[in-house]
Amino acid sequence: MHPQLLSIKDFSYPLPDERIARYPLANRDESKLLMYRQGQISSGIFSELPDQLPTDSLLVFNNSRVVEARLLFEKPTGGLIEIFALEPHEDYADITTAMNACGSIRYKCMVGGASKWKAGMVLQKQLLYEGSTVLMEARMEERRSDCFVIQLNWTPADWPFAQILHLLGEIPIPPYLQRHAEASDAERYQTVYAQNDGSVAAPTAGLHFTPAVLQRVADAGIGQAFVTLHVGAGTFKPVKADTMQGHDMHAEFLDVPAELLPKLAAATRIIPVGTTSMRTLESLYWMGVKAAHMPDIELTGLEIQQWEVYDRWQALALPPQAALMALHGWLEKNNRKRLIIKTQIIIAPGYQFGLCKGLITNFHQPQSTLLLLVAALVGPAWKDIYQYALNNDFRFLSYGDSSLLLP
């Protein structure tokens, strides 16, 4: 069956409100770990993960950093307007470029209280930081069907946008936590290896890792690699259509160094840490398939659209090494040391995996594209996995417990 025909109601389960983890545990690596191996389910503690991984594994992490994308402005007449910075305007080639912009930027945003933002009204926000007055102004430039385009200007004008957000914004914790961000979220809603600014939601599977666990992974001889996929707010977008053909999958920027591709090509067993790492890896594979079949393809042609893998490319699949090295060759030919590009890939039952042979992930919302991804990997066993988690007091969603899935 084509994934377009899947009914999202078939990917539901009862999630009691009390099973949603509102806060993280005191210690990251003390969360529970569900292990699924070829049909067998067991449980342990996340700190035991290095002992549970196959020795030929290569773990691939998403090192994107969550930016303080929620900005609260007070109107001159009182009252608050909330601006949620989603992604750069089309003027900017990618998120990294936007995060390094100085002085001003145009950004696609969600706006809370937009009806109270009168035409021509300039919003201001400021604070004193290390002897400098940091001032940001916001002007509404355009209303679109799915967002607002906001012009943001700030001083000091030589400070990059990422730094301004860090000073003036708040961490945008998920809406299902049903609480405001607290000081502790600034640390705990980031992975310990977060590096590249750009996400508005954390790659939450990585929240369980500590430096000690990462060291034990290395001591076990298990490889580690890093990619970047900047997680957009669309990761929380519910599937409202009855069948998946009515759902518009969100697109996100990935950023991968060319030198990583040969390392991936040489790997025996690639296990992504999180759904965003999996989407990045599988996108790289299909981009490689495209490059192999169309060596003169343009960069924009490499972008993965929502359904094209199923409609065209699965019939032209290649061995992983051939696809990755074709992509590496394309980058070399085009004098690119990094691949910075958008992907809209949707991984759902019926998907043919190119690279990934397992997954480390949290427990996801019912009727979500993230749950579809899990079901694509483990098949109907996802129901047994989630029922086991419910029966054994696992904590769910972003601050919840973890699972190691090895089909």
pLDDT in tens, 100-111: 999 999 999 999
Question: 198: which DSSP letter?
Answer: E
The confidence band for 145, taking pLDDT boundaries of 50, 70 and 90, is confident
pLDDT tens per residue across span 249-277: 989 999 999 999 999 999 999 999 999 99
**Portion of the chain with pLDDT greater than 70, in percent:** 100
pLDDT value of position 367: 96
Tell me: pLDDT of 404 over 80.
yes
Closest CA to 62 of 216, 244, 274: 274
Q: What is the rounded average pLDDT for all residues in the chain?
A: 96
Between these two residues, 132 and 290, which has the higher pLDDT value? 290
Amino acid at 366: P
pLDDT value of position 366: 97
Tell me: pLDDT of 236 over 80.
no
pLDDT value of position 190: 98
Tell me: pLDDT of 295 over 80.
yes
The sheet that has 32-37: what strands, in order across it? Answer: 40-45, 32-37, 402-406, 359-362
**Portion of the chain with pLDDT greater than 90, in percent:** 92
Tell me: pLDDT of 235 over 80.
no
Question: For residue 320, is the peptide bond before it cis, meaning its omega torsion is within 30 degrees of 0?
Answer: no
pLDDT value of position 104: 97
pLDDT value of position 250: 87
Between these two residues, 203 and 131, which has the higher pLDDT value? 203
Distances from the Cα of 82 to the Cα of 75, 86, 106, 228, angstroms? 10, 12, 16, 28
Closest CA to 174 of 405, 400, 407, 5: 400
pLDDT tens per residue across span 37-73: 999 999 999 999 999 999 999 999 999 999 999 999 9
- Any idea where the domains of the chain sit in the sequence? 3-65+190-406, 69-169
Dist CA 189 CA 340 (whole Å): 25
CATH architecture of residue range(s) 3-65+190-406: 3-Layer(aba) Sandwich (3.40)
Count CA atoms closer than 13 A to 103's CA, side-chain side: 2
Closest CA to 346 of 313, 373, 378: 373
pTM of the model: 0.95
Tell me: pLDDT of 365 over 90.
yes
